[in-house]
Amino acid sequence: MDELKQKYDAPTVAVMRQALNDVIKDHRFLVRKSVTPLEVAVHILQQAASGERDLNRLKSSAFEKLSAAA
């Protein structure tokens, strides 16, 4: 969890928030009961901690996580 103890600038926070909102509102998330919004948020934070800032790549990564949890 140490990688989650980072500071992010406002644009990065906005991208992460948008990614989370888009994923949890998507039908692919809504039909999955095995992954919680918190787990998606943690995954997005981990991706951002590794340097990812692209909205579409953050969302794609989260959807891959959903697929793996199926």
What Å distances lie between residue 1 and 5, 23, 29, 51, 61, CA to CA? Answer: 7, 22, 24, 16, 19
pTM of the model: 0.85
Bigger pLDDT: 52 or 70? 52
pLDDT digit string, tens, across residues 18-42: 999 999 999 988 887 788 999 999 9
